[in-house]
Amino acid sequence: MTFDAQKTIRLAQDTLDIEAAAVLGLKERINQSFVAAVQAILAVRGRVVVMGMGKSGHIGRKIAATLASTGTPAMFVHPAEASHGDLGMVKSVDLVIAISNSGESDELNAILPMLKRQGVPLIAMTGGSASTLAQHAKITLDSSVAKEACPLNLAPTASTMAQLALGDALAVALLDARGFKAEDFARSHPGGSLGRKLLTHVGDVMRSGIDVPKVLADASFNDVMRQMSAKSVGASAIVDAQNQVIGIFTDGDLRRLIEKGVDLRSVVAADVMHARPRTVREDALAVAAAELMELHSITSVLVVDASNQLCGIVQIGDLMRAKVI
């Protein structure tokens, strides 16, 4: 069989067109049934249990994962395993979302009477509005499609895309109804980059205590350089007797002074410092420090408390090691 590159491109483009049409076709079916489904999920005291066989099962796993990470406790239970003991995972305080394009999946339909007997609310996501699954459901979400993207109209393609999109629509509507914020999302994603950005504070990554280079305003220039060298930081804070930040001196300032030919032997810290430096609070998000550095093209930021007392310093390298940037 000869490979036809043009046919391959055409089939791929047709697939995207068919699946896009399947998703867009759902818009006119977002109606009171969808609203009822969202309200039912919001009212559930237990968890949302998602079920589905075959490709619908794979979609169900993703929907359960999306719900769980956006504020709706959810899990996936395989219908076949449910018939052999896993149905015990479903309680009367839970709600089941059952997914089947035809609505006639034997493994799924076999457990529907038991769910009804337990008093578990059932939401059906199906393309078969008159199917067995739809008849057992309290609420039915129509996920039907005109045709599959598969040239044989057999492999679940457009239908699974519609199910996935409908699941995402539920998750988005629910997170908005719950007042779910980015910080809430981060709490369920502590290991990801978003979690690090939203959960890591300046106080978690800054250098503090004896590791912070600082001198008084009347310190000699040699003392300033000793602090920067001893602490291996390319900057030193200038503070007053109450440890209030009044300035900063950086290695960039040193280069500029040398270029100007300034005699540094007799100057003190107050003569060469950059007054009113950029600072950040220790309880601020570390990403805020990164944004401050980027905005002002600097590599170090002094960290202060509510009374402007010096409590640390954070450098761009500290943020990189914490994988905030």
Q: What is the pLDDT along the chain (325 residues), one digit of tens a residue?
A: 799 999 999 999 999 999 999 999 999 999 999 999 999 999 999 999 999 999 999 999 999 999 998 999 999 999 999 999 999 999 999 999 999 999 999 999 999 999 999 999 999 999 999 999 999 999 999 999 999 999 999 999 999 999 999 999 999 999 999 998 877 787 776 666 777 777 789 999 999 999 999 999 999 999 999 999 999 898 999 999 999 999 999 999 999 999 998 888 889 999 999 998 999 999 999 989 999 999 999 999 999 998 889 999 999 999 998 888 8
The whole-model pTM stands at: 0.72
CA distances to 183, 207, 237 from 301, in Å: 24, 11, 10
Give the whole-angstrom CA distance, residue 213 versus residue 314.
Answer: 11
Give the whole-angstrom CA distance, residue 92 versus residue 115.
Answer: 8
Give the whole-angstrom CA distance, residue 81 versus residue 78.
Answer: 5
Q: Domain residues of the chain, as ranges?
A: 5-179, 202-321
Nearest to 100, CA basis, from 49, 53, 43: 53
Specify whether the CB–CB gap between 314 and 280 falls below 8 A. yes
Tell me how long the chain is. 325
How many C-beta atoms lie closer than 10 Å to residue 126's C-beta?
A: 28
What is the side-by-side strand order in the sheet with 214-216? 214-216, 235-239, 245-250, 274-275
Give the whole-angstrom CA distance, residue 3 versus residue 12.
Answer: 14
Torsion of CA 146, 137, 168, 93, to 10 degrees: -170
Give the whole-angstrom CA distance, residue 87 versus residue 63.
Answer: 19
Q: Does domain 5-179 have CATH number 3.30.43.10?
A: no
Which superfamily is assigned to 202-321 in CATH?
A: CBS-domain (3.10.580.10)
Give the model's pLDDT for residue 198: 76
Q: Write the DSSP symbol of residue 311.
A: E
